[in-house]
């Protein structure tokens, strides 16, 4: 069985400073697998953390994503959502209620848990440096 590292240890392991907002937001994302946006994270945390700033939520989530401690999901409406699970998986976005479902995937078929869903489109996007630009980055 694998040892679960604490949020603090995972930040340390990544070699970045352990700060109050980073711990707070990272732990929030570990506890809330609801694909929140920065705005949502901020609104959920600001009451119990009055000194927290929205700009900090943007800074922290960006840093966590950079260190691959969280994954970024850009929904079809262009908003950024964050997820503490970084393993590859698909996302299903509901055009009506805007919720985001996780699923294990194959590009051609939807899984059991999405039985009954009306799939209007599927997109698969990879990201990184293209062959032309890769040379400048390795």
Partner DNA sequence: GATATAATTTATAGTAATTCTAAATTGTGG
Partner DNA sequence: CCACAATTTAGAATTACTATAAATTATATC
Instruction: Give the binding site for DNA (CB under 7 A).
Output: 12, 16-22, 37-39, 51-56, 58-60, 62-63, 77-80
Residue with tokens 């707070």: 24
32 contacts which partner out of a second copy, DNA, none, CB within 5 to 8 A by kind?
A: none
Min dist CB 112 to a second copy, Å, is 11
- For 38-69, give one letter per residue: b (16+ CB within 10 A) or e: bebbbeebeeeeeebeeebbeebbebbbeeeb
Residues from 111 through 130 that contact a second copy (CB under 8 A): 114-130
Number of C-beta neighbours around residue 35 at 10 A: 23
**Cβ 130 vs Cβ 138: under 8 Å:** no
**Cβ 27 vs Cβ 7: under 8 Å:** yes
Measured CA to CA, the distance from residue 31 to residue 7 in angstroms comes to 11
Min dist CB 5 to a second copy, Å, is 21
4 contacts which partner out of DNA, a second copy, none, CB within 5 to 8 A by kind?
A: none
Q: Quick one: 19 or 33, whose CB is closer to a second copy?
A: 33
Residues from 70 through 99 that contact a second copy (CB under 8 A): 71-80, 88-97, 99
DSSP character at residue 79? -
Of 13-21, 24-32, 39-47, 100-108, which segment contacts a second copy by CB under 8 A?
100-108
Q: Which residues bind a second copy (CB under 8 A)?
A: 71-80, 88-97, 99, 101, 105-107, 110, 114-134, 136-138
């Amino acid at each position: 069985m694998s040892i679960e590292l604490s949020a603090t240890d995972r930040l340390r392991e990544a070699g970045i400073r352990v700060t109050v907002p980073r711990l707070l937001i990272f732990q929030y994302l570990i506890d809330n697998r609801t694909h929140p946006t920065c705005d949502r994270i901020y609104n959920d945390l600001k009451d119990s953390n009055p000194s927290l700033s929205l700009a900090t939520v943007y800074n922290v989530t960006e840093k966590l994503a950079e260190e691959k401690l969280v994954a970024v999901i850009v929904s079809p409406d262009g908003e950024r959502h964050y997820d503490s699970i970084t393993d590859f998986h698909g996302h299903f976005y509901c055009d009506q209620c805007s919720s985001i479902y996780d699923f294990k995937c194959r590009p051609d078929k939807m899984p059991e848990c999405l039985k009954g869903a009306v799939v209007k489109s599927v997109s698969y996007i990879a990201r990184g440096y293209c062959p032309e630009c890769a040379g400048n980055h390795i």
